[in-house]
Amino acid sequence: MKKRTVLAGTLLIIVGLLIGLGISTRMGFQEVTLATETGISQETTDFLSKLSTSLSEVAEKVKPSVVNISTTKTVTVRQTPFDEFFNDPFFRRFFGDRFGHDGGKRKFRSSALGSGVIVSPDGYILTNNHVIKDADEIKVLLYDKREFKGKVIGTDPKSDLAVIKIDAKDLPAIKIGESDKLHVGEVVIAIGNPFGLDHTITMGIVSAIGRSNVGITDYEDFIQTDAAINPGNSGGALVNSRGELVGINTAIFSTSGGYMGIGFAIPSNMARSVMKSIIEYGKVIRGWLGVTIQNITPELARHFDIKEDRGALVTDVVKDSPADKAGFRRGDLIVEFDQKAVRDSTNLRNMVANTPPGKRVAVRIIREGKERILYVVLGEFPENLAAQSPGEYSNVLKGVYVQEITPDLREKLDIPAKVEGVLVTNIDDESPAYGILRRNDIIQEIDRKPIKGIKDYREVVSGIEEDESVLLLIYRGGGYIYITIKP
């Protein structure tokens, strides 16, 4: 009986609590009703799900072909105005001697990160030249976390491409697509290691094709994209919806150093041509037509009785060049090269450079208002027209890169026709000329000897002694100045 009474009492308490909860709910608390419908049509959901699945499939397929590249190199810096402060005993008491100097220069180890793309199962990797330039050590980290030492097979600063190799087999090589078939608005995916974040995927569209005169490389035919590209993406892959490599991510346009919606990639067709030449010959061998060209303008078109608004106008023909032998003349408008339409002078220059020497191609021109087809066998781009290598000299001009002033450069940099010489394209940090010469300076005289081109430059510079100072006449910023460089 007692047990029944206790049980009944317990039941009454439970019922009372339940009633109390119900009363509380009615008095102030509301029941939560969860949504059971999204309001989005099944058709829309199916479409977006299919798109999401497709992009995910492409990303998962190509990610293993993209690698992380880390480099270390020795960097030399000059003394700064703060060296006396660094040498102060009070400063050294807290920070030690690591800020000391050795004869005006200090060396330290610098590290950097970039990306690369596996293009063959036996270990060949495409990347940017600036990613591995001057590197003492290259480490390649694969998607499966294996790490290898990278070996430089060859570089091409003119296109900012490089080929390295790792000792590995059966690697997941990417399929190289046809960048010439890209269209503005086409969906592309960028894969790389921005800020060291491995295998980051970003998506966008092709914003433009054939971008040139950007000022990044000598040979420019960039794909512009709004797929997010940041520092560390350099050398990574730009792929199309079929998972094919259509570009090597190279640079961004930015005022902040980060992504601003404009990125540039080297087209896969150019990258393929450069890569094959490097692997086969150890250097890039480019085709040569032997003409100087410029863009066609409405005024020039009227003068030459040309109705076309595109093409490359021949301003000169090099004697005994392939173009000379094929019958090209000054005033010819080149509108088609090897069955491909010519947009402008830069476009033609890239097409010729990417064509192997010895190939016979048909070139459609307009001469005196009439179309003609000329057949030309391309030659190899002459070395004396290439940029000067700084490694040949041990005098005050070591580490100075120069090149001929081409019509394209003269127009781009607004160089007057009367100005002759060689154009300074770069100066190594360790060169005695560093901080004195500048990029885009034009060297007109060396020790009062006129310089009209690479040939004159080589002859004069090769005769300068190691401990000899030189006097240069420079054209800079619209004026002439004399400067001296001391050893």
Catalytic residue set: 130, 160, 234
Q: Do residues 246 and 179 lie in contact, with contact meaning Cβ atoms separated by under 8 Å?
A: yes
Q: Do residues 379 and 322 lie in contact, with contact meaning Cβ atoms separated by under 8 Å?
A: yes
149: left (phi over 0), alpha (psi -120 to 50) or beta: beta
DSSP letters, 301-341, are HHHTT---SSSEEEEEE-TTSHHHHHT--TT-EEEEETTEE
Dmax over Cα atoms in the chain, in whole Å?
Answer: 127
What tokens appear for 130 in the block?
Answer: 């600036």
Q: Do residues 256 and 239 lie in contact, with contact meaning Cβ atoms separated by under 8 Å?
A: no
Q: Do residues 345 and 297 lie in contact, with contact meaning Cβ atoms separated by under 8 Å?
A: no
Measured distance between the N- and C-terminal CA atoms of the chain, rounded to whole angstroms: 115
User: Cα 208–120–163 angle (5° rounding)?
Assistant: 65
User: Cα 362–366–369 angle (5° rounding)?
Assistant: 150
